Amino acid sequence: MKILIKNAKIIKSFSSTPFSGDILIENDKIINISDKITIDKSDKTIDATNYIAIPGFIQTHIHLAQTIFRNLAEDVPLLDWLYKYILPLESKHNENTLYDSARLGIAELLLSGTTTIQDMETIHFTHTSFKAAEEMGIRTCMGNMLMDKGNEILSESIDFLIKESESLYRKWNNYDNGRIKYVLTPRFALSCSKDLFNEIKIMSEKSNIPIHTHAAENLKETEIVKKETGYRNIEYFERIGIASPKLRLAHCIWLNDYEYDILMKNDIKVLHCPSTNLKLGSGIAKVPEMLDTGINVSIGADGPPCNNNLNIFNEMKLAGLIQKLRIGADSMPAENIFKMATINGAKALGLEKDIGTLEEGKKADIVLLKSNIHSFDYEEKNILSTIIYSMNRDNVAYTIVNGKILVEEGKLLVAKEKEILENAKESRLHFIRNL
Ligand code: GUN
Ligand code: FE
């Protein structure tokens, strides 16, 4: 299968100069990027005049299981949001509702130009969410939620959780030629016993599986972690032996200097979720400072009940704006934001050899943005600012993952949008009735 993208404005990476040219895809890979490509025959040619070709966006912290709870947990801080609303809602999922929630989320992500996600599901039925990712073609790192303490509503025994993890790992890790990967996902320090963390550590080391969790998101949360464990959040992770380049931490807002040092020395990956941090009133992560010290920070929208959607354009804008207000207009250049949403995301997931930039030999994960009434007027030198501050999901014309066109001319090809919506509406009723 050969796809030729003709005459696009190509941005290979956050640091490269845009140029007009063509991209040739063969099967799942980019095989040629140059000013002009002529071939005898392609299976499909896309006329990309007026399109900007960029590496697909990578969101490193998502909860597809929560998509269907959008707008059901409003105007409360993290711990109330979680214990009063989200855990009870997650506990009521069944296979059907989880599948519909995952499909709804994936549709939104693809339509808005996200080609790769790292996702955290709920305790049960995670094979259904893997199935949704398999069918809809998005590149996915995913895990079942691990929690054995802290509440009565949603938790399981260590034995159950680890068996479930092993079964999902065997079935899904490296599925579809590596497009899908399994990740261990303990919820956060407050929902996991030391024994559970120990089992997670053993499995992670034995099979080289990354660990994806939340950390230091909210001040109250960090105070309880300190009271329960005797340590600050990141310090606790270091003490129990999980601080390593394979550790991926969402939020990282309430840290002291010693904890930033732990992140830096262990190459721990930080997953920044600006809209969630604002909406739950959690705080502002010190992203420019972390980037300056060499910490890899990437971006994620988190779950729709805390932000309330999965649109990377919102996250990129906010990632810039909140820092500009906090420490100055020059604190977050557009290149840094674009970098976080592309190659830093790839690095966070250990996929930088495959995705995150447009390069020959890399996977063909490409987004084509069309300029329109609110974004036609860019100059090459500020094209990334145009993408971040002027563009939005209505600019996404094509989303290509692994060489497959999943969105064409703004339309989802891999599933029927109407069917996804109808099923999601039906599944949502299950939760509304049980509120
Ligand atoms: N901390 C523990 N669980 C969650 C969650 O589901 N979302 C967010 N934002 N923070 C959490
Ligand atoms: Fe989260």
Ligand whose nearest atom lies closest to the CA of 249: 2
Average of per-residue pLDDT across 212-232: 98
Residue 296 alpha carbon to ligand 1 centre in Å: 21
Kindly tell me the burial class for residue 144, based on how many C-beta atoms sit within 10 Å of its own C-beta (0-12, 13-18, 19 or more): buried
What distance in angstroms lies between residue 227's CA and the mean position of ligand 2's atoms?
22
- Residue 214 CA, closest ligand 1 atom number: 1
pLDDT of residue 434 exceeding 80, the answer is no
Ligand 1 pocket, residue 81 CB under 6 Å: no
Integer angstrom CA distances of residue 8 from 49, 152, 432: 5, 54, 46
pLDDT single digits (tens) 13-31? 999 999 999 999 999 999 9
pLDDT over 80 at 336, yes or no: yes
217 Cβ closer than 6 Å to some ligand 1 atom = yes
Q: Which atom of ligand 1 is nearest to the CA of 66?
A: 6
Cβ–Cβ under 8 Å, residues 99 and 128 = yes
Q: How far apart are CA 240 and CA 84, in angstroms?
A: 29
Judge if the beta carbon of residue 400 lies within 6 A of ligand 1. Answer: no
Ligand nearest, relative to CA of residue 86: 1
What does the pLDDT look like over 340-351, one tens digit per residue?
999 999 999 999
By the 8 A CB rule, do 302 and 62 touch? Answer: yes
Write the pLDDT tens digit of every residue in 257-281: 999 999 999 999 999 999 999 999 9
The ligand placed nearest to the CA atom of residue 212 is 2
Tell me the C-alpha distance between 273 and 170, whole Å.
Answer: 30
pLDDT in tens, 112-166: 999 999 999 999 999 999 999 999 999 999 999 999 999 999 999 999 999 999 9
* Atom of ligand 1 lying closest to residue 282 CA: 9
State which ligand 1 atom lies nearest to the alpha carbon of 303: 7
Whether the CB of 302 sits within 6 Å of ligand 1 = yes
**How confident is the model over 385-427, as pLDDT tens digits?**
999 999 999 999 999 999 999 999 999 999 999 999 999 999 9
Measuring from atom 11 of ligand 1, which residue has the nearest CA? 214
Mean pLDDT of the chain: 97
